[in-house]
């Protein structure tokens, strides 16, 4: 047994220190970034935020709405090939340009993804997604996918440590997805005791990835737009959101009404709800590692996205970053033991 003694940080442990700035307005901030990748020759420009590949969040409707903001959607792996064909046939090139096709690591997934990519050349991103990216099987599957899709942008995860980020990049990933346990409906840390505070994971993994010409996605743990600013400030190239996008019309969640108020169900992909939906229940050898929550229904996603992007632009102006790309360079974190003042939180109007 060994103990690492330096303190690892989450979003709640820091704030970003303001810096002198020549920017006059938030409108001068450009949140679009241009990406070049380690393996794929594709050049992608857009706002590097990604709707998570959870079945309630990464829907075709979400992809259609978010592409208007140049934001990506990691479409979940439970759509059939026929549903993909219908979606591709009605979608614009712009929408398809903002779609990431998610797959698991089974042979069936591999066969299906090949068929999906034959539908359109505009599909550029693959995300190979497993809860625990530390397995040998995952690495060999990643190598297989890279051999088959030489020029696609391959994202793979999840991991939280630099040495595994390097291993994934050397095995064919352009982008590594980082995060174990920070998610809003995740109970992995409680069930297993395993995890890594997200901001430290970002800082360490970004350093490892950038050293090899790769990129990272910070996946999970953002509860407010300030957390996205901290994730980008810490070195994340992309930020993936689940809970912050939950409860909207574009989601695929069951709506329930109580005392004439509408709610939408949102659950983790390792929760009992998800396992019941896709594999008929929780297998005897497994425990659920996710929650099911009921959140107030929020209507269309536009207001939420404008709020997130506005917060991010404002963060950039506070440190004098005219482009999102500059945020990391201009970020100094200060360690804190307070965040917001909550005195009136129970009196919100
Ligand atoms: P959020 O933005 O909601 O904080 O985090 C979203 C991320 O949580 C997802 O992209 C995924 O990585 C993770 N996640 C989703 N469902 C589950 C689950 O049931 N268990 C765990 N451990 N993580 C989950």
- The per-residue pLDDT for range 299-334, each reduced to its tens digit, is 999 999 999 999 999 999 999 999 999 999 999 999
Nearest-angstrom CA–CA distance, 281 and 55: 16
Tokens of 287: 């425990």
Query: What's 6's DSSP letter?
Result: S
Six-digit token pair at 268? 């983790």
What confidence tens digit (pLDDT) does each residue in 269-285 have?
Answer: 999 999 999 989 999 99
Taking the centre of ligand 1 as the mean of its atom positions, its distance from the CA of residue 182, in whole angstroms, is 7
The protein residue with its alpha carbon nearest to ligand 1, atom 10, reads 52
Residue 130 has pLDDT above 90, yes or no: yes
pTM score over 0.85: yes
Q: Is the pLDDT of residue 137 over 90?
A: yes
* Residues in contact with ligand 1 (CB, 6 Å cut-off): 52, 54, 131, 158, 179, 183-186, 188, 219-222, 240-244, 268-271, 289-290
For residue 268, how far is its CA from the centre of ligand 1 (angstroms)? 6
pLDDT attached to residue 125: 98
Name the residue of 12, 241, 242 to mutate for ligand 1: max ligand atoms within 8 A of Cβ.
242
Catalytic: 186? Answer: yes
Residue closest via CA to ligand 1's atom 7 equals: 220
What is the pLDDT at residue 26?
Answer: 87
CA of residue 131 to ligand 1 center, whole Å: 9
Please report, for residues 127, 141, 168, 169, 179, the alpha-carbon distance to residue 136 in angstroms, rounded to integers and kept in the order given: 17, 9, 11, 14, 19
pLDDT score, position 268: 97
Per residue, the 3-state secondary structure of 17-74, as one string, reads CCCCCCCCCHHHCECCEEEECCCCCCEEEEEEEEECCCCCCCCHHHHHHHHCCCEEEE
How far does residue 324's CA lie from ligand 1's centre (Å)?
Answer: 25
Find the 243 Cα to ligand 1 centroid distance in Å: 8
- Catalytic residue, candidates 127, 186, 222, 251: 186
The ligand 1 atom nearest the CA atom of 182: 4
Helix axes 225-234, 302-319, angle to 10 degrees: 50
State pLDDT tens for residues 44-53: 999 999 999 9
Does position 22 have pLDDT exceeding 90, yes or no? no
For residue 25, pLDDT over 90 is answered with: no
CB 212 within 8 A of CB 164: no
Helix or strand holding residue 128 (H, E)? strand 125-129
Which ligand 1 atom sits closest to the C-alpha of 179? Answer: 12
Pick the residue whose CA is nearest to atom 4 on ligand 1.
183
């Amino acid at each position: 047994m060994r103990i690492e003694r330096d303190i690892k940080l989450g979003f709640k442990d820091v704030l970003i220190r303001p810096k002198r700035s020549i920017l006059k307005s938030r409108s001068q901030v450009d949140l679009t970034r241009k990406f070049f990748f380690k393996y794929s020759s594709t050049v992608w420009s857009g706002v590097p935020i990604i709707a998570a590949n959870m079945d309630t969040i990464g829907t075709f409707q979400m992809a259609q709405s978010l592409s208007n903001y140049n934001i990506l959607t990691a479409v979940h792996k439970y759509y059939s090939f026929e549903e993909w064909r219908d979606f591709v046939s009605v979608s614009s090139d712009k929408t398809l340009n903002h779609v990431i096709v998610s797959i698991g690591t089974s042979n069936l997934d591999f066969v299906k993804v090949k068929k999906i990519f034959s539908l359109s050349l505009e599909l550029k991103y693959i995300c190979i997604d497993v809860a625990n990216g530390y397995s040998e099987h995952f690495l060999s599957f990643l190598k297989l996918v890279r051999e088959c899709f030489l020029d696609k942008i391959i994202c793979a995860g999840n991991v939280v440590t630099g040495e595994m980020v390097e291993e994934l990049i050397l095995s064919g990933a352009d982008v590594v997805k980082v995060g174990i346990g920070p998610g809003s409906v995740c109970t992995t840390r409680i069930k297993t005791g395993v995890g890594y505070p997200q901001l430290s994971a970002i800082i360490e993994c970004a350093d490892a990835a950038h050293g090899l010409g790769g990129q990272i996605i910070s996946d999970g743990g953002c509860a407010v737009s300030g957390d996205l600013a901290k994730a980008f400030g810490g070195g994340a190239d992309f930020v993936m959101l689940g809970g912050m996008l939950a409860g909207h019309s574009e989601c695929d969640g069951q709506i329930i009404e109580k005392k004439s108020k509408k709610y939408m169900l949102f659950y983790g992909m390792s929760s009992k709800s998800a396992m019941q939906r896709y594999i008929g229940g929780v297998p005897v050898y497994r425990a659920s590692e996710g929650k099911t929550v009921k959140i107030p229904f929020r209507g269309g996603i536009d207001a939420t996205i404008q709020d997130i992007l506005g917060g991010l632009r404002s963060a950039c102006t506070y440190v004098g970053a005219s482009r999102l790309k500059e945020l990391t360079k201009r970020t100094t974190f200060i360690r804190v033991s307070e965040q917001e003042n909550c005195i009136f939180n129970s009196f919100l109007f």
